[in-house]
Chain A
Amino acid sequence: MEYFLDEQQKMIKEIARNITEERIKPVRAELDEKEEFPREIIKEIAQADLFRVFIPEEYEGFGAKCLDACLAIEELSRGCCGVSICYAAVMLGTLPIILFGSDEMKQKYLPQIASGERLVAFGLTESGAGSDAGAMKTLAKLDGDSYIINGTKQFISNGGDAEIYSIIALTNPAKGVRGASAFVVEKDTPGFTFGKKEKKMGIRCSSTCELVYHNCKVPKENLIGKEGAGFIATLKTLDGSRPGVAAQGVGLGQGALEEAVAYARQRVQFGQAVSSFQAVQHMLADMATQVEAARLLLYACARTIDAGATNYTEDGAMAKLFATDMAMKVTTDAVQVFGGVGYTRDYPVEKMMRDAKILQIYEGTNQILRNDIISHVYKRKAMRP
């Protein structure tokens, strides 16, 4: 398959692959076991300029192309989705600032994010507001030159480890989602603390944490865009970051496929490598085909975005849905190809299978995405040009 990547994209891929091989693979099992934030690897990712990839050039970035960022995420996910979510969640949290922030806000934050000096998180979900994000309760009340924020966000990736938080809160609860607004809240702001840290099934080296706001006062300039534009900002942010989750799926599927092929070729039963059995061969052939199909859907979606498309909700939803369902299936099959040892922690595929599950849940569950897709399909009467 020829992916027609440009010079910069090839470099990004190579750099991220190098980090996966040299820094992630040797420690991923240990990071998972200890549920330890991969600080050293994040430093290496920063040093390698990968945080610059999704930042516009005017703010010390490398052009903010969707495909460029997806290539970095894909290669990191080949090694570990726990590490790659720490990276991708920074992109997620930065998108509201890139898309809707004022020039001053961008000047203030983007260069620090580009250098990797400060990490970012995105806070939308609450205990009563998951798929139904509009049911959020967190309030932001204007008080002179500040907003006073009260409420609790749940399940926030990079929570506690990030320095910059883009969060959504209601400035006008009477208006429902039309009364939601986006804010930047910096770590160490009085009234902002961290609550429960989740103990997870997979992506265990990444932190998933509650953000607790109790009369937390943030300056008025921290409002991202306009009051009441928070829900649109959320939708656009998720549209922009969902290809990143698809890229996690593609990278993870690729990683599992590589492990399965390597193992099948050296495991001998009945006097021959198990890779010579047709049942195994067909499983591997299906895995390879599915990974490739997901990759091409993702790349096509990312290129559509990079070409300047304005509405790509459906494309991103399809890419995320397909790639993450693929990752779940391919990692499950990889465990099957390994047999019993695949189920043990001596080999990486059981972790890959655990990691795959979250991809079907966050940034819009795959059920919610199917809802989105079908509404677009109906609207366009299933037609394509």
Chain B
Amino acid sequence: MNIVVCIKQVPSTTEVKINSETNTLVREGVESIINPFDTYAIEEGVRLKERFGGKVTILTMGPPQADIALKECIEVGADEGILVSDRAFAGSDTLATSYVLSKAIEKIGDYDLVISGKQTMDGDTGQVGPGIAQRLGIPFVAYVSRVDDISDGKMKAERMIDEGHEVVEAPVPCVMSVSKEINVPRLPSLRGKMKAKSAQLTVWSAQDLGIEDNKVGLAGSPTFVMQIFSPKRERQSEMLEGSSAEQVSALCDKLSEMKVV
């Protein structure tokens, strides 16, 4: 079974800063990591390969330095890494990104399953997975929490919904996004590290993918970010004092004063 896992390199969470003039993330001097939600997708890809055989190819669109993220995926069991990188892609929104990734997946060809994380930590949209499925013309299954079986051209899986779980069946190939309940991502292994060290990564440009200029970068991105700002913390608190009984009655008074009870 050939599995393609789409990942993104993002700035490490503890250090997110926003440039208030350009409304974009400050990436200089910030450590890059694999989008944490994607680590579950990588792990699931590797587990499915271990169960059903086949190969796991990691696909990412990003700057040349994103090759580090691809190597980290090989350390935890992926077989190959493909970096899609081109100046023309700069400024691409989720629509343009899913277009580029779908073109890359078409070029990989002969795939059975495409897996992504449920969303990224920086963009937070969760739109790229479904966007890829739409472009490829195959089904999309969101928030998968367990893959029960893949056989006879069908995948049976469980997915998380607000009310609980849903058992679904989808024809393969399909695209799925995974929730973090699906597994515990493994840590790097010695064989993985050795493989990553000597791994030859594939790099594809816009031209390699036959991409139309007006569909990528700023030109191909209808999303317009009006403003990004850090919300102000405006919560106020008041500590009630006295015995438990006094605190309870004071609380009741407050709540009825606020007309919530």
Q: Tell me whether A44 is interfacial, beta carbon within 8 Å.
A: yes
From 15 to 31 in chain A, residues with beta carbon under 8 angstroms from any chain B beta carbon are 15, 18-19, 22-23
Cβ-closest chain B residue relative to A43: B186
Which applies to chain B's interface (DSSP): helix, strand, loop or mixed?
Answer: helix
From 163 to 202 in chain B, residues with beta carbon under 8 angstroms from any chain A beta carbon are 186-194, 197
B193 and A15: CB pair below 8 A? Answer: yes
From 287 to 336 in chain A, residues with beta carbon under 8 angstroms from any chain B beta carbon are none
Bin the interface of chain B by size. Answer: 10 to 19
- The smallest C-beta distance from B90 to any residue of chain A, in angstroms, reads 33
Q: Tell me whether A11 is interfacial, beta carbon within 8 Å.
A: yes
- The smallest C-beta distance from B14 to any residue of chain A, in angstroms, reads 16
B188 and A18: CB pair below 8 A? Answer: yes
As a 0/1 sequence over residues 202 to 218 of chain B, the CB contacts with chain A under 8 angstroms (1 = contact) are 00000000000000000
A50 and B187: CB pair below 8 A? Answer: no
The interface residues of chain B lying within 8 Å CB-to-CB of A23 are 187
Q: Tell me whether A62 is interfacial, beta carbon within 8 Å.
A: yes
A47 and B190: CB pair below 8 A? Answer: no
CA distance A53 to B190 in the complex (A): 9
The interface residues of chain A lying within 8 Å CB-to-CB of B187 are 15, 18-19, 22-23, 44, 47-48
| CB-contact partner of B191 in A14, A22, A49, under 8 A | A49
B188 and A15: CB pair below 8 A? Answer: yes
From 58 to 72 in chain A, residues with beta carbon under 8 angstroms from any chain B beta carbon are 62
From 229 to 274 in chain A, residues with beta carbon under 8 angstroms from any chain B beta carbon are none
The interface residues of chain B lying within 8 Å CB-to-CB of A50 are 190
Cβ-closest chain A residue relative to B186: A47
- The smallest C-beta distance from A61 to any residue of chain B, in angstroms, reads 10
- The smallest C-beta distance from B196 to any residue of chain A, in angstroms, reads 10
B190 and A12: CB pair below 8 A? Answer: yes
The interface residues of chain B lying within 8 Å CB-to-CB of A18 are 187-188
The interface residues of chain B lying within 8 Å CB-to-CB of A49 are 189-192
The interface residues of chain A lying within 8 Å CB-to-CB of B192 are 49
Q: Tell me whether A52 is interfacial, beta carbon within 8 Å.
A: yes
Q: B-contacting residues of A (Cβ < 8 Å)?
A: 7-8, 11-12, 14-15, 18-19, 22-23, 44, 47-50, 52-53, 62
Contact sample, A vs B, 17 pairs, CB 8 Å cutoff: A7-B197, A8-B190, A11-B193, A15-B188, A15-B189, A18-B188, A22-B187, A23-B187, A44-B186, A44-B187, A48-B190, A49-B189, A49-B190, A49-B191, A49-B192, A52-B190, A53-B190
Q: A-contacting residues of B (Cβ < 8 Å)?
A: 186-194, 197
Extra pairs beyond A47-B187, A48-B189, A52-B190 (9, CB < 8 Å): A8-B190, A8-B194, A15-B188, A15-B193, A18-B188, A48-B188, A49-B190, A49-B191, A50-B190
Which are the 8 A-B pairs with shortest beta-carbon distances? Answer: A49-B190, A49-B189, A48-B189, A11-B193, A18-B187, A49-B191, A47-B186, A48-B187
